[in-house]
Amino acid sequence: MTERRAVARAFSRRRMLAVATMMVPVAATASCGVPDLLAPPPGLSPSVRTLRAAITAEQALVDAYRRVLDTYPALTAPLHPFLAQHEDHLAELKSRLIIPPHVKATPLPTPRAASPPASARAAVTMLGDAERAAAAAQLGRLAAATPSLAQLLASIAASEATHAVALSALNPAGG
Amino acid sequence: MAARAPRRTDAAASADIAALQAVLAAENVAVYGYGLAGAQLSGGQLSAAQQDWAVHRAARATLSAMITERGGTPGAAAVAYRPPFRVNSAGAAMSLAAVLEDGVVRAYLGLVALDDQGLRTFGAQATQAAAIRAASWRGSTTAFPGLPSSALRTG
């Protein structure tokens, strides 16, 4: 009996030692930043989150132009080229968005629709302000973007800046 | 002991200087080109060209200082540059001004691809300013200033 108890104690000690030996590398790797085998797969990278934010902002601009053109069809000739360029921006940004299959990304937020401005002139002013704000916001996204995405965002921002200047020179009738 | 800020690697510093040299080269072309364009312009267009010429001269000085600060030697301007087409009318002069600004936009976009966040922001702001001048001379805007269609997936 005593012998059996001694064997059991020794076995238990060996098991503890074995478990402890196995745990050392696990603890060491965890502290070295090596990915944990059981950890959930990584989420969206900062660059993808940046891209999603840019897509949401671009969609908001496209929607704003469409609402203005629905309300003031007389503005179609001067404004349609800008809308078309925003649609190009949106298509290019979306073409770069690849969500890995294991990542459950929340759907892109739908921009809130603002009520149409009270006059054509106010609508143009509103679009100009939106273009300026969008161009400035792109600069804030550069740090988290890959070099290629940063260049695309900077180019889109430059396009938006030119829209803002062109809109400020428009003087639509129906004031 | 305080942690030391990570030093820029030699490769990153060289890339910064090379990109700044490319922008300086584009600014040198612009300074020369606006001289050619100005000779064909008058009135408000000449004033605009003179204003833009002054902007490019100032940018050239800024870029030279930035290159020197980083241990580089600013590239010298050529004595003359061949324009891409004959500049013998006001219309051709305005087209040339737009082409010059396009070149400057492309060069500044090169800075936006660098790791240095300060240079990225500086490049993006200068890209916007040059794109506005290009659109003003051309009379129309573009969707992707400075980006060739080969850089676009939908292009």
All domains of chain B in start order, with CATH? 12-74+82-139 (1.20.1260.10)
pTM of the model: 0.83
Q: Cβ A138–B105 below 8 Å, yes or no?
A: no
d(CA B117, CA B105): 18
Q: Which residue has the higher pLDDT, A97 or A76?
A: A76
Residue A3 has pLDDT above 70, yes or no: no
Structural domain includes residue A175: no
Alpha helices in chain B, H assignment, sequence order = 10-38, 43-69, 90-112, 117-138
Structural domain includes residue A24: yes
- What percentage of chain A has pLDDT greater than the value 90? 58
What is the average per-residue pLDDT within A38-51?
A: 80
The 10s digit of each residue's pLDDT in B131-143 is 999 999 999 999 9
Per-residue pLDDT tens digits of chain B, which is 155 residues long? 444 544 567 888 999 999 999 999 999 999 999 999 999 999 999 999 999 999 999 999 999 999 999 999 999 999 999 999 999 999 999 999 999 999 999 999 999 999 999 999 999 999 999 999 999 999 999 999 999 999 998 87
Shared domain check, A104 and A131: yes
Q: How far is A2 from chain B (nearest CA, A)?
A: 58
pLDDT at B5: 45
Structural domain includes residue A88: yes
d(CA A12, CA B102): 77
Quick one: closest CA in B to A83, which residue? Answer: B143
pLDDT at B17: 97
Structural domain includes residue A109: yes
Shared domain check, A56 and A138: yes
Q: For residue A61, what is the domain's CATH number?
A: 1.20.1260.10
Q: Cβ B120–A150 below 8 Å, yes or no?
A: yes
pLDDT at B152: 94
Shared domain check, A3 and A23: yes
Shared domain check, A144 and A72: yes
Structural domain includes residue A17: yes
Shared domain check, A136 and A116: yes
What is the average per-residue pLDDT within A141-157?
A: 97
Shared domain check, A50 and A10: no
Residue range(s) defining the domain that contains residue A52? 46-169
DSSP letters spanning B76-111: PPPS----SS---SHHHHHHHHHHHHHHHHHHHHHH
Asked if residues B131 and A148 have their Cβ atoms less than 8 Å apart, the reply is no
The 10s digit of each residue's pLDDT in B86-97 is 999 999 999 999
- pLDDT bucket at A106, cuts 50 / 70 / 90: confident
Shared domain check, A51 and A106: yes
Shared domain check, A160 and A82: yes
pLDDT at A32: 56
Q: Cβ A89–B136 below 8 Å, yes or no?
A: no
Shared domain check, A59 and A34: no
**Residues of chain A positioned with their CB less than 8 A from the CB of B127:** 154-155, 157-158
pLDDT at B10: 85
pLDDT at A171: 77
**Residues of chain B positioned with their CB less than 8 A from the CB of A163:** 141
Structural domain includes residue A34: yes
Nearest CB to B147; choose among A85, A95, A152? A152
Structural domain includes residue A174: no
Q: Cβ B112–A154 below 8 Å, yes or no?
A: yes
**Residues of chain A positioned with their CB less than 8 A from the CB of B124:** 138-139, 142, 150, 153-154, 157-158
B97-125 in b/e form (b: 16+ CB < 10 A) is bbbbbbbbbbbbbbbbbbebeebbbbbbb
- pLDDT bucket at A112, cuts 50 / 70 / 90: low
Residue A1 has pLDDT above 50, yes or no: no
Shared domain check, A126 and A52: yes
Shared domain check, A66 and A34: no
Number of domains observed in the structure of chain A: 2
Structural domain includes residue A110: yes
Rg of chain A over Cα atoms, rounded to whole angstroms, equals 29
Q: Does B141 touch chain A (CB under 8 A)?
A: yes
pLDDT at B3: 47
Shared domain check, A21 and A107: no
